[in-house]
Structures are given as C-alpha cells and as structure tokens.
Chain A
Amino acid sequence: MSVLQEIIPSAFLFAAPLIFTALGGVLSERSGIINIGLEGLMVMGAFVGIVVNLELAPFMMENFGSTGKLLTPWISILVAAIVSALFASLHAIATVTFRADQVVTGVAINFLALGVGLFLIKQIYGKGQTDMVDAPLNSTDIPLLSDIPFIGPIFFEGTYYTNWLAVILAFVVWYVIFKTPFGLRLRSVGEHPIAADTVGINVNKMRYIAVMLSGFFGGIGGSVFALTFAQNFSHGTISGQGFIALAAVVFGKWHPLGALGAAIFFGVAQSLSVIGSGIPLLENIPSVYLQIAPYVLTILALVGLVGRAESPKALGTPFIKGSR
C-alpha cells in the first residue's frame, strides 16, 4: 500500500508529459509524417512555458492575487502549445510542401529549438538559464475523488490536474482518430494518400494539421514537464523525453491508448529508477539496472511481444499529386 502510494504518483508525474507528446506523435505519424522532432517541440514548449510564466506571474499576482498565481501556469501551457504548433509548421512546410527527408528535418527541428531557446534566453536574461518560476504547477487533492478509500490516496491525493488531463486527452484523441470523419481522413492520408486524394481529401492540408497538432501537444508536454519538474529553462531541461515519447508511439503501435499505456510504462520505469532504492524489494539491485530497464524492455517488447509493428503504410513518403 505505502509502496504503491510512493510509486504511482511519481510514475504518473513522469508519464504525463510523455503522454501529451506521444499523442502528438501518434497524430503526426498517422498522417504519414515521421516526427523525430518531438524532442525539439518539447524543448520549444518548455522554453515558452517558462518564459511566459516568468514574465506573466508578477502581473497576474498583482492584479488577481492567488487566483492569478493559480491561473499563470495554465496560461503558460496554452501559449507554449500555440507557439510550438507554429514552430512545428516549419516541419510541415519542409516535409509536406518541399518533400524533405522527414527524419533529417526532425533532427534539424531538435537543433533549432534548443538553439533558438538558448539564444533568446541569453537575449532576454543575459545568462544561460532562467530563474526558477514563481508560479509552477502544484499538486492538489482532487475534491471528492481523493476521499474514495484505497484508490483515492493512490490516484487522487497530491496529484496534478495535468496528469488526468493527459489521460482524458488520450481517450479524446482515440475517439477523434477512430470515430470521427476527421480521424478517418487522417488515417487514410497516412495509409494511402493517393486513394485519399482521389476521393477528394486534401492530403497536404491534413498533414499540415496533423503536424501542427503534434506541435501543440508536444508544446503542452514540454511546458508541463518544465513547470512540474525543472521549474526553469536551461540547456538540459528537456533531455531525451521527446525521444522516449517517440518510442512510446512505436511501442504503442501508433494507437493513442497504446501510446498512453507505453508512456505510463516508461513513467513507472523512470520513477523506479529514481525512488527504487527506497523500496524494500528493489533496494539491492544496482541502480543502473533500473535505469536501463525501460530501454531494454522496449527493445525486447519490440522484438518479441509486440512483434512487427505495423506503421502507417505511407509513413515517411511525401505525397506528390499525380504520381502513382
């Protein structure tokens, strides 16, 4: 019981940014655009989220008091999401309109986000990293739900609203992709763009929307991570979370709920590697095994359990109207 109460909230906290970002990855890849730039989109989200928070917090607290302080991180996250969506449109312009190699453009997005972020931080603050934010996301007890015996303390006490938002969003994305006309179009564009084009779907428009949505979600993921964990922005704020989210996309077989499960799995693994030494059953295992466990397990899962992952058929290929 106490062990669960220790692992689950921290695992959940690790998982939430991964869930947001992986959902973005699912949307992008379902439309046929590989997105290795998820890391960069998270960096952009973290950068914008922190800067907006730092700049906005004094104003909000002066005018709206404690409500303002509570609202500030949410506004920061929204702005981060919008800016990251715009930033992701660069990936869309390069890959959709100019038929660039999607993997390479994604790598460029990763470099660009960090370069732009650090360059602007130097411009604004004159140093390599920001101060700590005054209005981070704080943990709360969710009313009513946290009173449920057993489940309440584990899942709803001292938790973050963003955690639950991530889970709900996974179901929303699942519904959109599999139950709505928009989702059908999105999938058809990723599976067989020429057929989709024949029935009048605007392939390139769908892909632009999908890539920009991946930026939106990646921006949420990055800013949520920055406003819960790091609480400032520097060179190493986002270090690999985007790549883990990408792994969650593949591990989850390009399915929103699969990605949700994979992200939670990575969250558990990461939290075990951090707090594992305090757990009776795991305290004698050298920490390195817990650290590498998520990655080794992913490889094993890809080879054995998951089997050959079926990626969207047109993944990675640009659509050229009129070609066969």
Chain B
Amino acid sequence: MILQKLKGTWIPLVAIGFGLLAGAIIMLLFGYNPIQGYIALWNGAFENPYFTGETIRLMTPYILSGLAVAFAFRSGLLNIGVEGQVFVGWLAAVWVGTAFSLPAFIHLPLAILAAAVAGGLWGFVPGYLKAKYQVHEVIITIMMNYIALYSTNAIIRNVLTDQGERTDYIAESASLKSAWLTELMEFSNIHFGIILAIFSALFYWYFIEKTKYGFELKAVGFNRDASKYAGMSVKRSIIMSMVISGGFAGLAGAMEGLGTFGYMSLQNSFTNIGFDGIAIALLGGNTAIGVILASGLFGVLKNGALNMPTSAGVPHELVDIITALIIFFVAASYMIILFREQIISMYHKLKHKLSNISSKEGK
C-alpha cells in the first residue's frame, strides 16, 4: 500500500529533478553559472519577508486553479477553460466589491461567493453541452475563454466605468488584504486568500474522498459505462464536476480581484493562471496535498525567477522553459519508468556478471 503510494510520488519528483537539470544545462550552454542562477532563484523566493510574501501571493491563485483542473480531471474531463472562469470570477468579485458598502463580515464573503458562482456558471455551459450533446469540452472551454476575455473587457469599459481602463478600487470591507499582514511581510502583496485556498483544498479532499458525490465523480472518471450501469447519473456528474471546477477557478479570480490588485483592468491576453493550473494538477497527481505542493513549487519558481536577471544575469524566461520541461517529463512518465527499468536491468546484469566473475575465480 505504501509502496503503491510512493510509486505515484516518485515520478513528479524525478520530473522536477530532470527539469532543473535541463535548466542547469541550458545555463551552462549559454555561459551562465547554474549554481549562481539557482541561488538567485532561491533568494528571489525566500531571501526576505517581502520575497516570501510575494511567493505566497503567487501561490494562492495557483492552488485554486490547480484544484479546478484536478477536480475536472477526476471525472475524466479536461477543463482548459480555467482562464475564462478566472476572468468572470475576478470581475464578479470586483463588481460586488465596488458596488456595495456593507459590513466586512457580509461584504467579503458575498464578493467571494459571487466569484465562485460566476466561475461555476462559466463552467456549467461546457458541462451541460458535454452532458447533453456530447460536444468536446476542450473546444467549448477554449471558446468560452475568449468570450470571457472580450465580455469582461466590455463590461469594465461600458458598465463599471465610463470607457475607463480599469475599475475603481474595491471597498475596504471586501478586501482580503490586512495592514497587519502587509506590514509583517514588508509591504508585499500578500493577502488572506492563502487561507481560503487551503480551506478550498480541504474541501476538495473531503468532497472527493468522503462524499457519495465524490465517489460517483471518480467512478465516472474511471469508467463511464460501468457507472451508468451501476445506476449513477453520468450526466449529473459531468455537469456538477464542471460547475465545481469552475467555482474553484472563479475563486482564483477573486484572489486577484480582492487580494493582489483590488481592482480589475482591461486584459490584453490570458493570465496563464489556468494553463499553469493544468501543469499543477498534473504534477500534484490530482490530489489536494499534491496541488498545494505543486503550487508552492510554481510560486517559488515564478517569483524566484524575477530575481535571476538582476542577481545572476539569467533571463527569467528560463523558468518557463524549466516548467514546460517538468510538465513534459510528468506527461511522459512512461519514459521515466522505462529509464528506471533500464537502470534496474543494468544493475542486475552487472550483478550477474560480477557473480559470474567471482564464481569463476572461485574455481
């Protein structure tokens, strides 16, 4: 049992190792010092409370987008639409945050809830179309991303502002920031969203592992026909999976709107929070704890990377190459398994030869 669990964990770890190794080789090839490069990366993530705060701040939406992708993965769906769900969640949170003035204990939860509902609705569309018409969710979610991008921009420009570039700041009562935390982390952009993200991971774990719905979801993910035969509603599971997945993604948007920025500005392109979420879910093996750890890794890599140009002269894009390679190696885990088998068989051959030699010598 323990071995089985370990079997799942060593592949991502080896993949991370390979990715970092490849990054070191690239640095060597281009005449940089890889040790200096990685030290700069590490310092950029943790050197002082400001950097650490920024790392945690970056990690927060990653946890939620990773959970979003992982949740859909569990029922056999690929939610590429997290990008769009982040946008609508962000917009809804900021809308509620700017439109009302309420006591904080109502205002903040209301804004967060609005984000989750908006993301969930955005996830409902592909879920419903998949369940009802068997249209591929990948294509629909890609289309929904663009619809979200253009409509949120139009709403910011025409409804929330008068042809403005960005919305007003949200009311204090809807903000996830706190003076105490900001001061503790030397004025980084850290906010209380990290607590919400960790609670969401707990919810994820509980829902998937401990509830009937979670069980049905996993069953549908394993074998749609068998689940149907067992009397489960496959359609309901598919829709529910996309709605909850979208809800997580909407919360990731709320992190940006209520925490990091406190407003929403016109967007030229996607945030990549959702695309990174795919990598994070995969790296984390679609488990709650795995997603948190993988988000931590991404937060460290991406935030630390910003320190690399100044401290070691390495372009920060190197980290994008490293993360891409990590995803690549995890996806091609069969390669890693083959690699391990190769090493094991080499070891056995060697042992065999050695024992042959020693037995001959014995004669």
Whether the Cβ atoms of A247 and B142 lie closer than 8 Å is yes
Residues of B within 8 A of A118 (CB): 315, 317, 320
In the bound complex, how far is the Cα of B319 from the Cα of A93, in angstroms? Answer: 23
B180 at interface, CB cutoff 8 A: no
In the bound complex, how far is the Cα of B130 from the Cα of A309, in angstroms? Answer: 12
B153 at interface, CB cutoff 8 A: yes
Residues of B within 8 A of A287 (CB): 154
From DSSP, what is the main secondary structure of chain B's interface residues? Answer: helix
Known: A103-B138, A118-B317, A298-B143. A98 touches B282 (CB 8 A): no
Known: A107-B279, A112-B324. A302 touches B317 (CB 8 A): no
Whether the Cβ atoms of B327 and A302 lie closer than 8 Å is no
Whether the Cβ atoms of A302 and B139 lie closer than 8 Å is yes
A138 at interface, CB cutoff 8 A: no
Q: Which of A98, A122, A299 contacts B143 (CB 8 A)?
A: A299
In this complex, the interface size class of chain A, counting residues with CB under 8 Å from chain B, is: 35 or more
Whether the Cβ atoms of A104 and B282 lie closer than 8 Å is yes
Known: A247-B142, A288-B154. A112 touches B321 (CB 8 A): yes
Whether the Cβ atoms of A295 and B143 lie closer than 8 Å is yes
In the bound complex, how far is the Cα of B323 from the Cα of A100, in angstroms? Answer: 17
Whether the Cβ atoms of A104 and B331 lie closer than 8 Å is yes
Contact mask for chain A residues 293-307; partner B; CB cutoff 8 A; 1 contact, 0 none? 001101100110000
A67 at interface, CB cutoff 8 A: no
Distance (whole angstroms) from the CB of B170 to the closest CB of chain A: 24
Distance (whole angstroms) from the CB of B242 to the closest CB of chain A: 14
B129 at interface, CB cutoff 8 A: yes
In the bound complex, how far is the Cα of B151 from the Cα of A99, in angstroms? Answer: 39
Whether the Cβ atoms of B320 and A292 lie closer than 8 Å is no
Distance (whole angstroms) from the CB of B81 to the closest CB of chain A: 11
Known: A243-B142, A299-B129, A303-B129. A250 touches B325 (CB 8 A): no
Q: Which of A108, A303, A311 contacts B328 (CB 8 A)?
A: A108
Distance (whole angstroms) from the CB of A210 to the closest CB of chain B: 19
Max count, chain A CB within 10 A of own CB: residue among B26, B140, B327: B327
Q: Which residue of B lies closest to A311 (CB)?
A: B136
Q: Which of A90, A100, A115, A291 contacts B334 (CB 8 A)?
A: A100
**Inter-chain pairs besides A100-B332, A123-B315, 4 sampled, C-beta below 8 Å:** A104-B282, A107-B278, A122-B317, A287-B154
Interface residues of A (CB under 8 A from B): 36, 90, 93-94, 97-101, 103-105, 107-112, 114-116, 118-119, 122-123, 236, 239-240, 243, 246-247, 250, 286-288, 291-292, 295-296, 298-299, 302-303, 308-309, 311
